[in-house]
Amino acid sequence: MDTFQVLKDLKPHPRILFNNEEIVEMKSRVDVTEVSGGAIRFDEIWREIELLAEKYASEKEFSVSYPSCDIVLNIPLPLVQLEPVEDPPGYTDYPYWTMYSRAIEERIKVLSVAYGMTRKDSFASKIKEYLFSLSAFSRWYEFPKRGAEGSLSIAHFVLAVSIGYDSIYNTLASEEIWIVNQAIFEKGLKLLGIDLNNHDSHNIIASKRVAMFIGALTILEEDNKGAIDPFLQNSSEYIIRYMNNRLVEPEIEGLLYLNVAARHVLMAADILKRSTGNDELITHKYFSLLPELFLYMLGTGGQSSFVNFSDSFYKLDVSYLMAVIASNTDHPVCSWYIHQFFEKKLDILLEFRKIPPPIHPDFYYKNKCSKIFPTIGWAAFRSGWGKKDHLLAFTSSESAKDHNHFDQNNFVLHTAGEWLITNPGYQDYVEGPKREYTLGTVGHNSMLADGKGQLNRGRSRFVDWYSSEGFSFIIGEAADAYDSCISGWERKIIHIDKRYFVIIDKVRKEKPETKLSFLFHTPSRIEAGGMVLRPGDRAQERTVKFIGEHSEAAISVCYPFKADSKVCHYTGAEQYGTFLEVVPQEIQEVQYMATLIQPLDPREGKPKQSPYTLKHSGALFDLKVENEDTVDYLLMNEERTCVHQSTEDGIVRLAGEQGWVSFNQGSKNLR
């Protein structure tokens, strides 16, 4: 990035969180008090933000909560540098400063917007108090022995001070400007320089490099360009490389940390455009891919709930991401998300400046309900985005970041607003059964070999896939995640007519006697043959139902014909629910398992499970599924070679690897 050109185009302060033109525009939006048709009530958001700013301006202390270790820190004001806090039991170098710095950044951000909107002295005075307190800290990182290495707090402190300094710049005396300017440079940029040659995509590195970029833009002036240029150049190169790499590299840490990194990268892109008019970052192709991943991994049933692969949660705050992308790229489904899951958040007031007409994803994506993300090894099979729809998400990924789990060829199922087949979510970092369960294969819908799970993160991949309106499939290969006892494990998931799923597992074992266990986790009630099954019970039926509050999933083990299905829980991790363990009883070098999963919605009467019949011969599978309206024939050759296949009754013949035909019931007419 040409620093000379940046300086030439650089707008005066404020230019980081907002500029003067945007303040005028924001005031015009909050002045509108009569809206109709589900329009965003910016006036209501502003009233809450102003009240929050008044609270922050008058508070004498605040608290920071750490739910993972059940600790609350009380922080007196004016700020003094936080003294070392004892590690919680089971932790080493617990990062208290991350949430501490985020709480400070959030306060300065709210106060800055409130000052921009009102010019109240009380808001500016509180910001100034924070700025001088932080400038007096001896450091902006937590652990002296590590310096800025791996520290997320230094990024948050640089962003906090940059935002506050920029917003009240015109109220500061020259000596005050020098003090804060030096703090950003000495305690921020120079120490962030530890990562100048670090090209890792880890969310902490991305956040730190963005903080470097924004800090440099904040204090860049003609008389200091020589000192600031290396940081501005290097961080801008990292940001561009980061976005380019996300289009071609497999690394992903789950949606939680993707959102953390993406939020910061978006912030840099948005601020560059605001500060200079340069839109080269905000128009990058990455910001076309990014919302697709979140929207396809969004739950159903009108719920803002996301797939929790790796270290992640069902609930994510993606309002900033959706608002910035909607405003800058006219993305109508991002606009739909904000309207559909509206919350009175500062990010909406600040960033949702240009409002594209919202379009429901069912209309925007039309019949493209399935989406394969082969680069990162994620796939989503949906029936739609409506209240009665379902989503099955699958992962077989090369990514081996430390926030990834030992969970390859793993899937989850969301039906009509409920997670029926589940992951445990964020790993427990304290050694013991909860960590074994949340991080290990045993806590995921994957496979154990002789009771043992995967030894390697990642090392898996998609080997084939196809997507269409009525027939979609994915094949993941995950053998390299295990030790030498498993030489091949292909898991194929087929989505038929947006109605049900067929899973074919093909496992090649070094020793035929190796016992395989296929796992299906749920927080819901488990029933078989009308009987509730509890841990220790065995299913006498081939079909087991996971029954939630208002939806169900029927799981039928179609093959092998002899399999032991037992309900289990993991001792010491019972809070995560139970799981069905299916153990094929055959002793074979190449072991197959065929599973039929039918999402059911019982809200309009008793749900009807479709009966099925399955014929099997070697690598050939012939599955027939019937319901009131249709008869489906599915032929599969798991050797994945082009051969002639025929259904048992000879109605369907196929020359190929796999195929599906559906007839109207009572006739031979194709649907």
For the cut 90, the answer to whether the pLDDT of residue 651 exceeds it is no
Average pLDDT over residues 173-179: 97
Q: Bigger pLDDT: 267 or 33?
A: 267
* Residue for token pair 């003609």: 222
Residue 607 pLDDT grade (very low, low, confident, very high; cuts 50, 70, 90): low
With H, G, I as helix, E, B as strand and everything else as coil, classify residue 572: coil
Question: In the prediction, which pLDDT does 604 show?
Answer: 62
Per CATH, 3-364 and 371-607 having the same topology is answered no
Determine the pLDDT at residue 642. 85
Q: What is the mean pLDDT of residues 7-29?
A: 94
**What pLDDT sits at residue 470?**
92
**pLDDT at residue 556 in the model:** 97
Cβ atoms of residues 569 and 535 within 8 Å: yes
- Give the model's pLDDT for residue 34: 77
Half-sphere exposure at residue 269, Cβ-oriented, CA atoms within 13 angstroms: 28
Cis peptide bond prior to 14, omega within 30° of 0: yes
Question: How much is the average pLDDT of 241-245?
Answer: 97
Q: Can you tell me the mean pLDDT for 581-600?
A: 95
Distance (Å) of CA 590 to CA 150, 433, 544, 581, 638: 45, 32, 25, 19, 11
* Separation of alpha carbons 626 and 362, rounded Å: 27
| Lowest mean pLDDT segment, chosen from 298-307, 476-485, 656-665 | 656-665
Q: How far is CA 295 from the centre of its chain?
A: 10
**The pLDDT of residue 58:** 98
Q: Which helix (H) or strand (E) holds 363?
A: helix 361-364
DSSP string, 606-665: S--PPPEEEEEETTEEEEEEE-SSEEEEEEEETT---EEEE-TTSS-EEEESEEEEEEET
Query: Which DSSP state fits 298?
Result: B
> What is the CB neighbour count within 10 angstroms for residue 223?
6
Q: Is the pLDDT of residue 413 over 70?
A: yes
Q: Mean pLDDT in the chain?
A: 94
Produce one character per residue of 567-579: b if its CB has 16 or more CB atoms within 10 Å, e if not.
bbbbeebeebbbb
**Alpha-carbon torsion, ordered 95, 101, 103, 106, to 10 deg:** -140
Helices (H), 220-356: 225-246, 255-276, 286-296, 319-329, 332-340, 346-351
Sorting pLDDT into bands at 50, 70 and 90, what band is 670?
low
Q: What is the mean pLDDT of residues 59-68?
A: 94
The b/e string for 349-381 (b: 16+ C-beta within 10 A; e otherwise) is: bbbbbebbebeebbeebeeebbbbbbbbbbbbb
Residue 536: predicted pLDDT: 96
**68, pLDDT greater than 90:** no
Q: Which two tokens stand for residue 619?
A: 């690598």
Task: Answer whether residue 541 shows pLDDT above 90.
Answer: yes
Tell me what pLDDT residue 32 has. Answer: 87
Instruction: State the Cα–Cα distance between residues 407 and 424, nearest whole angstrom.
Output: 11
CATH T-level assignment (fold) for domain 3-364: Glycosyltransferase (1.50.10)
- CATH architecture of the domain with range 371-607: Distorted Sandwich (2.70)
For range 170-175, the mean pLDDT: 97
- pLDDT confidence bin for 669, thresholds 50/70/90: low
Identify which has the larger pLDDT, 303 or 338: 338
Indicate the helix (H) or strand (E) that contains 555. strand 552-559
Q: What is the pLDDT of residue 667?
A: 62
Instruction: Tell me the helix, strand and coil percentages in the chain, rounded to 5.
Output: 35, 25, 40
Q: Where are the domains of the chain?
A: 3-364, 371-607, 610-671
